[in-house]
Amino acid sequence: MQPIRSEEQKKRDTANRRSFSFRLNIFFFLTFFVFSVLIIRLAVLQFVEGPELREKVASIGTRYVKIPPIRGNIYDLKGEPIAYSTSTQSLYYTIQPNTKESDAKELAEHLADAFEKFGDKTDAPPLTADKIFEMMDIKGRLSYVFEPRRIKAGINEKEIAYFMENNDHYVGVDIIEESIRHYDKDTVAVQLVGYMKGFNSLYQDENGLRKYQEIKQDNANRDPVDQYLDKEKVGYDGLELMYQDELRGKNGVKKYPVDSMSRIIGPMELTVPEKGNNLYLTIDKNVQLRAEEAITNHLEKIRNSSNPRERAKYARTGYAVAMEVKTGKVVAMASMPDYDPNVWQGPINQETSKYLQYFINNGTIRTSMPYYEDPKEGMNHPSSLVYLGSTQKPLTVLLGLNEKLFTPQTTYLDRGAFYFGREGHKTSVSNASNVANGAIQPWKAIAKSSNAFMAEMIGNKLFTSKPGNEGLEIWDRYMEEFGLGVLTGSGLPNESKGVKDYFSESSGSAQAALVFASFGQQGRYTALQLAQYTTMLANHGKRLKPQFVNEIRDAKGNLVQGYKPEVLNQVDFPSAYWDVVERGMSQVSVQGFEGFPYSFNRKTGTSQQDVGKRKRVENAVFIAYAPANDPVLAVAVVVPDGGYGGWGAAPIARKIFDAYDDEIGLTGTPKNPTKREEESGGNTANAQNQQVNNGTANENNTAAGGNNGGNAATGQ
């Protein structure tokens, strides 16, 4: 029996050794794995994360205080300031958590007392406790709860010293160095220039501009000189938004070395703010103001006219664009009525905000509605986007000629109406007042504004000669080539492409869509699109980019960007086709151009549309360019609810041509330029110098501010 036990013992010993060897191998493998992971992690720390960690270590030992830049100015073509910034110190209040109304009223009383004691006695009217409490907006009726409320701008040195010494007693109160944006009180092209809002409200608002939401997401990774501050104001619309990057400038930066307890342990390093670039517009202030005045005065006239052909009692809005034919420069862009953009300097209540919605939109590039106290009544009146009416006809004839639907010599018998459709369901298209023009050629169809010619010879022929919807596709191609139904390329924010109703099911058949489109009743477009189209008629087929900035210069006057015309696309038609259009446009009957010293080509339009409960609302539309033999300026005018184009819109265009001729010159020489008084010129120069000095003062004050600058953040 003993040998057997010995054999079993050997087997157990062998099994134990194998088990021990296996466990030992597992141990060594795990140890090797752990050390490998540690080595890899050390390599990552050394070579991958090392630079970032070293940067974090450095940042722990450094504190940055960002100093806001002064925003660049916006001038007109001749250097007149339209929008400019000044540097100032302002007192802001931010609602604290669990703030009670009684506490806010008490704080308002203390603030009023301090302003009375330390403020300038010239302040008028003085800030009362009730007024301050209203501006504090405890219930968030005027601003978001988290937004600081500006209580007083332009506080003096005594007030600054007092509030900084007693900041423990004024919880939620901050002294903010900021630049205040001022706009010309003459309200020059205000919708084009745009306005500003707080950066923090824009990126936190779910409907805020995507540009600022993207900036906020990446803001911490930017260089301190490029980081946006929560309390600064930024461009929200128009050129203020379009040229935000050029206008903003760069932050100044105070750099402090600190220890682990965040105590300053060395001298401050200062990088001074860099003022934003200045824009010099293509807009001429005097031409612009005369265009605005022309619209306002003519609206008043046609609303109260005793002439039934001129009277348009519902005309409340008007839009005009004047564009140079050879350069694409927009010298006037008027959307009336307008408003004073300086209103954005202070808090705006909800009632005022709702009211402003009717005036802040640039109706020359997008939808703008007329103001009525009863919004329901407003729905019965057209917006700024109207059908072109007969101003469409020059392009319609060009299309018909180029598609070989007829020739320049074709004679058409105009019986006053054209009928189309199945027997028993025919639809008629009539001329104005059912006038029968008799035998006419294409040029005369333009001059006499024959709806019948356009409908039968172009709209209907295009349908019958092309299968299916091919005719509509051809029509659309021509429209887009002339800038109708596509963006103008101007780059202005929120520009509309217009509305192509000829592709809508409400148009009925493709035949009906083409017939009604042929005389301007199937596409609603903007005044800027209409001006670009008119420019293209004038220069024989070059679609120029509408531009608003003549040059950009830095704060020292150095040229940053000059002007260069841009051709977006070009069409090539035989000169005989252009001759037909020009001959027709030269003989269109029109009001308001008596005694005009230049030959000019033009087209009136009276478009109709159903709006709300009203049927066949008439809109006045007009296009023209001059001089006819060497076109310099193209003008487009739209007056919704304005009646006949020749009466409701054309006289406005005449005054714009006169303004341009006086200030710039249709022959290249100003005919009667507005004389600037020496005092006015001196004030302008002083205003510009003041901006530079304010910027310098801002830098100097910042440098002298030392540690007290820690709370400085801005709104521009």
| pLDDT at residue 505, rounded to an integer | 65
Instruction: Provide DSSP, 252-272.
Output: EEEEEEB-TT--B-S--EEE-
Provide the b/e sequence for 418-445 (b: ≥16 CB within 10 Å).
bebeeeeeebebbbeeebebeebbbbbb
| pLDDT at residue 123, rounded to an integer | 60
| pLDDT at residue 359, rounded to an integer | 93
Confidence at 382, pLDDT banded by 50, 70, 90:
very high
534 in the same domain as 405: yes
Task: Tell how far CA 477 is from the center of its chain.
Answer: 27
Query: What are 639-668's pLDDT values in tens digits?
Result: 999 999 999 999 999 999 999 999 999 999
| pLDDT at residue 27, rounded to an integer | 78
| pLDDT at residue 714, rounded to an integer | 30
| pLDDT at residue 97, rounded to an integer | 79
Which among 571, 390, 553, 555 is positioned nearest to 479, based on CA atoms?
571
Q: What is the mean pLDDT of residues 61-70?
A: 78
300 found inside a domain? no
613 in the same domain as 512: yes
Residues 546 and 330 sit within 8 Å (Cβ to Cβ): yes
| pLDDT at residue 695, rounded to an integer | 40
699 in the same domain as 575: no
| pLDDT at residue 699, rounded to an integer | 38
459 found inside a domain? yes
Confidence at 572, pLDDT banded by 50, 70, 90:
very high
| pLDDT at residue 265, rounded to an integer | 76
Can you read off the two tokens belonging to residue 41?
């992690």
586 in the same domain as 699: no
CATH code for position 603: 3.40.710.10
| pLDDT at residue 425, rounded to an integer | 81
Dihedral sign of CA atoms 462, 466, 469, 474 in order: negative
| pLDDT at residue 124, rounded to an integer | 66
Confidence at 197, pLDDT banded by 50, 70, 90:
confident
263 found inside a domain? yes
Work out the burial of residue 378: count CB atoms within 10 Å of its CB; fewer than 13 is exposed, 13-18 middle, 19 or more buried: middle
Query: What are 670-695's pLDDT values in tens digits?
Result: 999 998 654 444 344 344 444 433 44
CA–CA distance, 45 with 51 (Å, rounded to integer) = 9
| pLDDT at residue 204, rounded to an integer | 59
700 in the same domain as 609: no
DSSP H helical ranges for 591-649 = 645-648
Q: Which residues lie below 8 Å from residue 514, measured CB to CB, with a gap of 6+?
A: 459, 460, 462, 463, 471, 472, 475, 502
Q: Which residues lie below 8 Å from residue 80, measured CB to CB, with a gap of 6+?
A: 184, 285, 684
Q: What is the mean pLDDT of residues 306-326?
A: 97
Query: What are 322-347's pLDDT values in tens digits?
Result: 999 999 999 999 999 999 998 887 66
Quote the strand ranges of 425-481, DSSP E: 427-430, 438-440
CATH code for position 261: 3.90.1310.10
What residue numbers bound the domain in which 75 lies? 63-281+684-711
Residues 439 and 413 sit within 8 Å (Cβ to Cβ): yes
689 in the same domain as 540: no
53 found inside a domain? no
pLDDT reading at 158 higher than 80: yes
Query: What are 224-258's pLDDT values in tens digits?
Result: 899 998 878 899 999 999 999 999 999 888 787 87
CA–CA distance, 664 with 282 (Å, rounded to integer) = 11
| pLDDT at residue 213, rounded to an integer | 87
559 in the same domain as 455: yes
| pLDDT at residue 16, rounded to an integer | 72
Confidence at 206, pLDDT banded by 50, 70, 90:
low
377 found inside a domain? no
pLDDT reading at 525 higher than 50: yes
| pLDDT at residue 145, rounded to an integer | 67
Residues 624 and 602 sit within 8 Å (Cβ to Cβ): yes
Helix (H, G, I), strand (E, B) or coil at 631: coil
Q: What is the mean pLDDT of the chain?
A: 87
Residue corresponding to tokens 């510009």: 688
Phi, psi of 302 (to 5 degrees): -75, -25
Of 81-85, 121-125, 388-392, the least confident:
121-125
Compare 452 and 700 and report the one with higher pLDDT. 452
CA–CA distance, 189 with 289 (Å, rounded to integer) = 8
| pLDDT at residue 522, rounded to an integer | 95
207 found inside a domain? yes
601 found inside a domain? yes
| pLDDT at residue 260, rounded to an integer | 66
Pairing mode of beta strands 278-281, 74-75 = parallel
Compare 155 and 642 and report the one with higher pLDDT. 642
Which among 285, 433, 391 is positioned nearest to 639, based on CA atoms?
391
Residues in a beta bridge with 619: 607
Residue type, 210: R
pLDDT reading at 379 higher than 90: yes
Residues 337 and 359 sit within 8 Å (Cβ to Cβ): yes
CA–CA distance, 617 with 639 (Å, rounded to integer) = 12
231 in the same domain as 181: yes
| Count of the separate structural domains present in the chain | 2
Confidence at 147, pLDDT banded by 50, 70, 90:
low
| pLDDT at residue 37, rounded to an integer | 80
In this structure, how many other beta carbons lie within 10 angstroms of the beta carbon of residue 478?
A: 16
CA–CA distance, 64 with 712 (Å, rounded to integer) = 11
Compare 22 and 697 and report the one with higher pLDDT. 22
Q: What is the mean pLDDT of residues 687-715?
A: 36
Helix (H, G, I), strand (E, B) or coil at 628: coil
CA–CA distance, 660 with 615 (Å, rounded to integer) = 38
628 in the same domain as 509: yes
CA–CA distance, 235 with 219 (Å, rounded to integer) = 17
pLDDT reading at 58 higher than 70: no
| pLDDT at residue 639, rounded to an integer | 98
Query: What are 252-305's pLDDT values in tens digits?
Result: 887 878 776 666 677 778 888 889 999 999 999 999 999 999 999 999 999 999
Residue type, 178: E
DSSP H helical ranges for 482-538 = 510-518, 527-538
127 in the same domain as 239: yes
702 in the same domain as 644: no
Q: Which residues lie below 8 Å from residue 473, measured CB to CB, with a gap of 6+?
A: none
Compare 420 and 34 and report the one with higher pLDDT. 420
Confidence at 633, pLDDT banded by 50, 70, 90:
very high
104 in the same domain as 202: yes
CA–CA distance, 176 with 200 (Å, rounded to integer) = 15
Query: What are 453-509's pLDDT values in tens digits?
Result: 999 999 999 999 998 899 999 999 999 999 999 999 999 999 999 999 999 866 678
Q: What percent of the chain stands above pLDDT 70?
A: 88
Residue type, 361: N
Query: What are 75-98's pLDDT values in tens digits?
Result: 999 999 999 998 788 888 888 878
| pLDDT at residue 693, rounded to an integer | 38
Quote the strand ranges of 431-570, DSSP E: 438-440, 499-500, 523-525, 542-544, 549-553, 559-561, 567-570
Residue corresponding to tokens 């141990």: 27
Of 163-167, 441-445, 570-574, the least confident:
163-167
215 found inside a domain? yes
- Secondary structure of 154-211 in HEC code, one letter for each residue: CCCHHHHHHHHHCHHHCCCEEEEEEEEEEECCCCCCHHHHCCEEEHHHHHHCCCCCHH
pLDDT reading at 39 higher than 90: no
